[in-house]
Structure 1
Amino acid sequence: MGDIAFNTVWQPGTGTQWVKWGMTDDEFKAHDAVFFHQGLRVTSLAFHEGRIAAVWRPGTGTQWVKWGMTDDEFKAHDANFFPQGLRVTTFVLHGDRIAAVWRPGTGTQWVKWGMTDDEFTGHDSVFFPQGLRVTSLFMRNGRIAAVWQPGTGTQWVKWGLSFGEFAAFDRQFFAEGLRLTSLWSEDGRYAAVWRPGSGEQWWSSRRCEVDFSTEDGAYFPRGLRIASLGAQDDPFGAYKYPWKGGDSRRVGQGNNSTPPDSHTGVQAWAFDFDMDEGTEVRAARSGTVEWVQESLTTNISPSSTTVPADSRDYWGNVVRLRHAGGFTSWYFHLKPNEVRVNVGDVVAQGDVLALSGNTGRSSGPHLHFQVQADSTDWGSSVAHTFGADCQQPATGDTVTSDNAG
């Protein structure tokens, strides 16, 4: 089974949440049987290479989950459930089959799939003035599937968007009081639905399993829950190696290394990359420069006990970037007075931040890199991956950057 890529939207929510993926049919049924009796219902359903991904959150009443349906089988089930007061809350295609979740609901419902752009536009232009809004949107092989149910207010549906176009629309609509209710991507193009909402919202696209877990683990205690979950091929790491594309570096320490290495505990997911002094250090992810320390010249022996580990002198010269969702990346041991950015600068992935050095507690020239969750001071690193292969290199590995050249 290939790697799974997650498209996810988080919005304000409360209560228990379970997320499971890579499930067989039987595993899904077993989990659902347990969660149902705990008062949880399926709120998102996705498929990847025959395996099931699902989100369960608090809910009540009847629930039916069906998958592997032909068109006719879906229509028959829906015709049976509709007069029982059940409506489609999740609708996805997997291969040439249909999966759906029915839960209590009222009013008119239309479900259409296999639509061209013009067919979707035609249906939506009819349903919108009837007081119906898109509650679920999915794309497969360039065709659109959608569910319309009763709703009010503004609605924007966009598809065929590049990543940059999608992100720009989301910034615009967020400021207008709209929030994402559906997000999907296929072949590098994005489809999304925005409807009235409020409060915090974060989303990510093509995330590797490790990065998805880290993001969800950080957002949950902030009162955010998964509002939309999609699965597809071609995951991409949330970060790129922080140096010029095409160049290779050895990992001195990294990825939860074992003693006597120091990258354990709060530094379990930090990395030391061998790097000659004066090498360009590049942004591993786009963000905003939040903190710079650049005038230190001292090198401290790793065996020294005169400088406490929580001292900023301990890490030498530093740049800290803040990224979407509150995550921060840290770049330590930089060359004195060779930081190329200022606090408040907005940088793109691959922009040069500084030159590497050997300041602070360091046994030799290298770059210490780590990611933290919503931190304003040095603290616990979090698991993440690099590049197109979702890499988590270990001590002794040699890795090649695919960052900007």
Structure 2
Amino acid sequence: RWLVDPESSMEMLRLAALENNAVPGADYRYLWIPGDPRSAHEPGRPYRAPFAVAKDHRISQTFPIGITHTTPDSYYAVDIAMPIGTDIYAARGGLVFEVASTNFRGGMDPERDGAAANIVRIMHDDGSHAVYAHLNWNSIRVRPGDRVERGEYIADSGNTGFTTGPHLHFAVLINRGMRLESVPVVFEGPNFVEVVPATGNTLVAY
């Protein structure tokens, strides 16, 4: 295994030169998982609700009542119901390392819709990263390599991928033994109080 630092490169494999008239060919497989497996989730302060200040939206699903959040990478995810086209802001600053923006439909067919969500992934300085999913078609305003600040506008919400209705899927993930696992998050409330997300509650952005 290799650990590659952000915004850097590393030579991992070199093929020897062929001799004589040998037919060239190679067979290889690889797996990459974002994040530092040695990291600990240390955000420093509560996360900013990922929409406009003074706006509020209902939490439609989160731990421990997670009907579709049954895998390690979604267990502590927070689904926030909101109309398509709602402005989405970074809940924490970091480095954008993955986006998908060309999907235009959503539904409940796992095979057709499971991998069809538009997303933004932002790496944090502690080695964790946030995923913002089900974003609207062609609405993403950042690209891999961009550094974004907390509260920066990054995209519009949508209804793409495996979804029962328009919402934002927000999760913070860490690399645990070459597997992504979600971690519990708290949001910032009035006077910097910590707000623990709960299904059915209304979340306000401060």
Q: TM-score scaled by structure 1?
A: 0.38
Note if 1:381 corresponds to 2:182: yes
- 1:257 CA displacement: 1.4
Deviation track 1:6-64 (CA, whole Å, cap 9, x = no partner) reads xxxxxxxxxxxxxxxxxxxxxxxxxxxxxxxxxxxxxxxxxxxxxxxxxxxxxxxxxxx
Higher helix share: 1
Contact 1:237 1:384 in 2 (8 A): no
Of 43, 64, 69 in structure 2, the residue corresponding to residue 263 of structure 1 is: 69
Is the partner of 1:371 in helix, strand or coil?
Answer: strand
Q: Which amino acid aligns with 1:356?
A: S
Please, which runs of 5 or more residues in structure 1 have no aligned partner? 1-217, 225-235
Q: Deviations over 1:321-376 (max 9, x none)?
A: 0001111000000111110111111111000000111111111111000000148x
8 A Cα contact 1:373 1:381, kept in partner = yes
Question: What is the correspondence of 1:4-403 to structure 2 with a 5 Å cutoff?
Answer: 222=38, 237-258=45-66, 261-266=67-72, 267-301=74-108, 304-307=109-112, 309=114, 312-313=115-116, 316-374=117-175, 379-387=180-188, 388-402=192-206
Give, in whole Å, the separation in 2 of the partners of 1:247 and 1:389. 17
State whether residues 282 and 354 of structure 1, in contact with CA within 8 Å, keep that contact through their aligned partners in structure 2: yes
Equivalent-residue separation in structure 1 for 2:132 and 2:179 (angstroms): 11
1:100-140 Cα distance to aligned partner (Å, 9 max, x none): xxxxxxxxxxxxxxxxxxxxxxxxxxxxxxxxxxxxxxxxx
CA contact (8 A) 1:257 1:268 kept: no
More strand per residue: 1 or 2? 1
1:239–1:284 contact (8 Å) kept in structure 2: yes
The change in CA–CA distance for 1:223 and 1:279 in structure 2 (over 3 A counts) is: closer
Distance in 2 between the 1:350 and 1:244 partners?
A: 8
Distance, in Å, in 2 between the alignment partners of 1:275 and 1:305 is: 22
Whole-Å Cα distance in 1 between the matches of residues 156 and 61 of structure 2? Answer: 20
Distance 1:299 1:222 in 2: 36
For the aligned residues, what is the CA RMSD? 2.6
Letter in structure 2 aligned against 1:222:
R
Report the counterpart of residue 27 of structure 1 in structure 2: none
- Whether the 8 Å CA contact 1:255–1:392 is kept in 2: the answer is no
Matched residues, number: 165
Flag the 1:378–1:330 CA change in 2: closer, same or farther, 3 A: farther
* Per-residue Cα deviation, 1:257-287 (whole angstroms, up to 9, x for no partner): 15xx112442221011011111110000010
Identity, % of aligned positions: 34
**What SS does the aligned partner of 2:64 have?**
coil
Letter in 2 for 1:394: A
AA of the residue aligned to 1:299: G
Q: Is the partner of 1:306 in helix, strand or coil?
A: helix
CA distance in 1, matches of 2:54, 2:150: 15
Amino acid at match of 1:292: V
User: What is the deviation of 1:245?
Assistant: 1.0
Q: Which amino acid aligns with 1:342?
A: R
Take 1:346 and 1:318, find their aligned partners in 2: how far apart are those partners?
16
Larger Rg, first or second structure (1 or 2): 1
Q: Secondary structure at the match of 1:239?
A: coil
The answer to whether the 8 A contact 1:257-1:264 is kept is no
1:356/1:367 contact within 8 Å kept: yes
* Unmatched tracts of structure 2, length 5 or more: 1-34
